[in-house]
């Protein structure tokens, strides 16, 4: 039991030769989950003051501006033609398509409900990247998926979550986009720095969401309230740069399926921030569903050494 808990917390520490780089990767992934967990709440809060597309463009623009001083360093990077298409598709998957689905989902469900569906990306990334997983891991994924589905069915219709079922479906589509991002980003980190990929995500997102502000349905702000401005600044710096930068760094140094497993920690962070800042609550059925999800997460943490996984 103690060994399993240690594996769950430390991210598959397997041998005395566990390197400093692997430890840094674990800390980077955990820190990314904390920031991403807070982003659901920050976006929900910002949407109360600004149009979703304004918020998303704002965070992309803030991140892009922050990366401008690094352009001279980025110009020294050798970018081959074969990397161009995967790079563009990666940026299209996330942040572009991901945030479109995410914004629509958060208008229909609570931050807590929306974040729970992110469990599904761990399964998809393992499947599409061809990384071998054990039977115990499969069982854990199934249990977690059942818990997430149960949580969706138990969602309450409230002022903050008028359409929880539709919201969670849109969240699932966001996770499909996120899976494409993880697959392509893992491939690109073999030849390109993770910080450069994070900057490209921000740049592509700014170009994508900028023209969408001209749509008739988008209400441009006439004035900026301080809470809205602080929310956008937080999303652009700590989340867009911080969370994506840390996650991209972590994925570049561990198996994608192992990095995706850390995504299961997001609901824990989001529930905490949602309770603390938004006053969100869970029903008894949702609490039980969360327990089932946590059980699935625990079971999915396989202690088999990576060398044995590769050999089969």
Distance CA 310, CA 131 (A): 8
Condensed to tens digits (0 to 9), the pLDDT of residues 107-124 reads: 676 555 544 444 555 556
Residue 25: both structure tokens together: 């990767």
Tell me, rounded to whole angstroms, the distance of Cα 154 from its chain centroid.
Answer: 23
Give the ranges where the chain is alpha helix by DSSP (H). Answer: 2-10, 20-47, 52-67, 71-74, 81-91, 98-106, 111-116, 120-128, 135-153, 164-188, 194-212, 226-234, 244-251, 256-261, 266-273, 284-300, 306-311
Give the model confidence (pLDDT) of 281-311 as tens digits.
Answer: 766 777 777 777 677 666 665 555 444 444 4
Cα(227)–Cα(225) distance, integer angstroms: 6
pLDDT averaged over the chain? Answer: 76
CA distance 222 to 161: 27
| Tokens coding 273 | 């921030």
Domain boundaries, the chain: 41-215+222-311
Best mean pLDDT range from 20-29, 121-130, 133-142: 20-29
- CA angle, 110 then 116 then 117, to 5°: 105
**What tokens does 231 get?**
């929310």
Residue-wise pLDDT for 1-15, tens only, equals: 445 444 444 444 444
Distances (CA, A) of 107 to 140, 165, 166, 178: 30, 12, 10, 19
CA atoms of 224 and 160, how far apart (whole Å): 23
- 176: number of CA atoms within 13 Å, CB side? 9
State if pTM tops 0.85: no
Tens of pLDDT, residues 188-228: 988 899 999 999 999 999 999 999 999 998 888 887 788 88
Give the pLDDT score at 258.
66
State residue 173's pLDDT score: 82
With bands split at pLDDT 50, 70 and 90, how would you rate the model's confidence at 141?
low
Dihedral of the alpha carbons of 267, 270, 274, 276, in degrees to the nearest 10: 110
Q: Higher model confidence: residue 132 or residue 62?
A: 62
- Tell the residue number behind the tokens 């998957």, with chain if given: 93
Identify the residue with better confidence: 229 or 280: 229
């Amino acid at each position: 039991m103690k060994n399993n808990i240690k594996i769950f917390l430390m991210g598959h520490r397997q041998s005395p030769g566990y390197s400093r780089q692997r430890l840094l990767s674990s800390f980077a992934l955990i820190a990314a989950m904390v920031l991403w967990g807070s982003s659901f709440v920050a976006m929900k809060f910002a949407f109360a003051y600004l149009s979703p597309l304004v918020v998303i463009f704002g965070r992309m623009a803030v991140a892009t501006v922050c990366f401008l001083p690094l352009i001279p360093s980025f110009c020294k990077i050798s970018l081959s033609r074969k990397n161009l298409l995967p790079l563009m598709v990666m940026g299209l998957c996330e942040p572009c398509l991901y945030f479109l689905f995410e914004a629509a989902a958060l208008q229909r469900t609570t931050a807590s409900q929306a974040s729970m569906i992110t469990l599904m990306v761990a399964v998809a990334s393992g499947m599409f990247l061809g990384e071998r997983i054990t039977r115990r891991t499969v069982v854990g994924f199934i249990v977690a998926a059942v818990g997430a589905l149960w949580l969706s069915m138990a969602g309450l219709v409230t002022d903050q979550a008028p359409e929880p079922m539709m919201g969670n479906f849109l969240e699932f589509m966001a996770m499909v986009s996120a899976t494409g991002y993880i697959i392509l980003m893992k491939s690109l980190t073999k030849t390109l720095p993770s910080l450069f990929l994070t900057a490209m995500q921000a740049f592509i997102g700014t170009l994508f969401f900028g023209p969408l502000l001209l749509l008739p349905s988008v209400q441009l702000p006439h004035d900026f309230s301080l809470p809205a401005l602080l929310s956008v600044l937080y999303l652009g710096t700590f989340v867009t740069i911080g969370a994506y930068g840390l996650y991209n760094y972590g994925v570049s140094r561990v198996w994608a399926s192992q990095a995706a497993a850390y995504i299961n920690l997001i609901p824990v962070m989001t529930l905490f921030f949602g309770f603390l800042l938004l006053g969100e609550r869970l029903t008894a059925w949702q609490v039980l569903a969360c327990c089932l999800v946590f059980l699935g997460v625990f079971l999915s943490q396989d202690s088999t050494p990576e060398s044995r996984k590769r050999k089969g």
